[in-house]
């Protein structure tokens, strides 16, 4: 089992992450990946100049590792990779990359979906949107928690 999680304080290239992930596989028949991008607008349509994801160096890494490990226990996946940005992020830049590999597609799809639902609600980050009218801290939505709770 190859479980990798990484906190990135500079931009990363999802294409390189996916290529590296696939290069480490050993006969799996399915790979599912997801890339989350910073949006240029808030949920209500106001401009966003950037995001800032504050974090605790050790606790944030531990939260990423725990989420990745739990996906391996729940699903028949042979490899998982998480890369999550922290710090200042501009609109259009990747925030998160997840990938899951398994012998068959269903487990890989479920694991990737599960990873994102958990990361969105439980990864140890404090997220701030910065725009023309100032900054505001944002939290996961009720929908985010409902998505996560379906896995319980």
CATH number at residue 59: 3.90.1170.40
**44 contacts 58 by C-beta, under 8 angstroms:** no
Q: How confident is the model at residue 14 (pLDDT cuts 50, 70, 90)?
A: very high
Q: Is 1's pLDDT higher than 70?
A: no
Does this model's pTM top 0.75?
Answer: yes
Domain range for 136: 2-149
Q: What is the mean pLDDT of the chain?
A: 96
Q: What is the mean pLDDT of residues 86-112?
A: 97
Q: What is the mean pLDDT of residues 30-43?
A: 95
Alpha carbon separation from 120 to 18, 26, 78, 127, 132 (Å, rounded): 20, 29, 23, 11, 25
Please tell me the number of Cα atoms within 13 Å of 131 on its side-chain side: 16
Count of structural domains within the chain = 1
Q: How confident is the model at residue 43 (pLDDT cuts 50, 70, 90)?
A: confident
């Amino acid at each position: 089992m190859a479980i990798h999680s990484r906190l990135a304080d500079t931009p990363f290239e999802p294409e390189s992450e996916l290529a590296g992930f696939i290069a480490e596989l050993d006969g799996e028949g399915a790979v599912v990946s997801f890339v989350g991008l910073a949006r240029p607008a808030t949920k209500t349509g106001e401009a966003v100049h950037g995001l800032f994801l504050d974090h605790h160096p050790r606790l944030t890494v531990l939260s990423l590792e725990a989420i990745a490990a739990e996906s391996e226990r729940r699903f028949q996946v042979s490899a998982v990779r998480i890369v999550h940005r922290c710090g200042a992020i501009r609109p259009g830049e990747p925030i998160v990359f997840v990938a899951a590999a398994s012998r068959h597609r269903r487990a890989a799809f479920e694991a990737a979906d599960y990873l994102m639902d958990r990361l969105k609600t439980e990864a140890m980050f404090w997220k701030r949107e910065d725009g023309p009218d100032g900054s505001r801290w944002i939290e996961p939505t009720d929908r985010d928690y409902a998505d996560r709770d379906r896995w319980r």
